[in-house]
Amino acid sequence: KAGVTQTPRYLIKTRGQQVTLSCSPISGHRSVSWYQQTPGQGLQFLFEYFSETQRNKGNFPGRFSGRQFSNSRSEMNVSTLELGDSALYLCASSSERHSYEQYFGPGTRLTVT
């Protein structure tokens, strides 16, 4: 079974631009969560989607948004990029039956210049 995939793996953007990151969960997993990892703040929860609906949200500004499609693939968008948005963005998926175990992708490394 293929793991969680994230695209692109690396991205360089300029302040003020926007960016869209993509996540394909493990086949059969309907829950997708997004996390941001920075050296200063560590791993922080952004939001979770289940069956195309946002089920939980972390404490991030409205510039961070996401969505989930009917095939459970998910995208997150960051608008008006700031230097502080430079981070590793991780996506995780889980199944309903084993919701305790989240499977993480390799992440997208975003650099904002």
Partner 1 sequence: DAKTTQPPSMDCAEGRAANLPCNHSTISGNEYVYWYRQIHSQGPQYIIHGLKNNETNEMASLIITEDRKSSTLILPHATLRDTAVYYCIPRDGTASKLTFGTGTRLQVTL
Query: What are the residues binding partner 1 (CB under 8 A)?
Result: 4, 31, 33, 35, 42-45, 48, 50, 55-56, 58, 90, 92, 94, 99-107
Give CA separation, 98 vs 9, 49, 83, 102, in Å.
27, 16, 37, 8
Q: Which is nearer to partner 1, 4 or 87 (CB)?
A: 4
Query: Which DSSP string corresponds to 96-108?
Result: STTTT-PEE---E
Q: Which is nearer to partner 1, 54 or 113 (CB)?
A: 54
Least distance in angstroms from the C-beta of 17 to partner 1: 25
Q: Which is nearer to partner 1, 12 or 43 (CB)?
A: 43
Report residue 84: phi and psi, to 5°.
-70, -5
Least distance in angstroms from the C-beta of 37 to partner 1: 8
Query: Which DSSP string corresponds to 31-97?
Result: EEEEEEEETTTEEEEEEEEETTEEEEE-S--TTEEEEE-TTS-EEEEE-S--GGG-EEEEEEEE-ST
Q: Which is nearer to partner 1, 47 or 78 (CB)?
A: 47
Least distance in angstroms from the C-beta of 72 to partner 1: 14
Least distance in angstroms from the C-beta of 67 to partner 1: 17
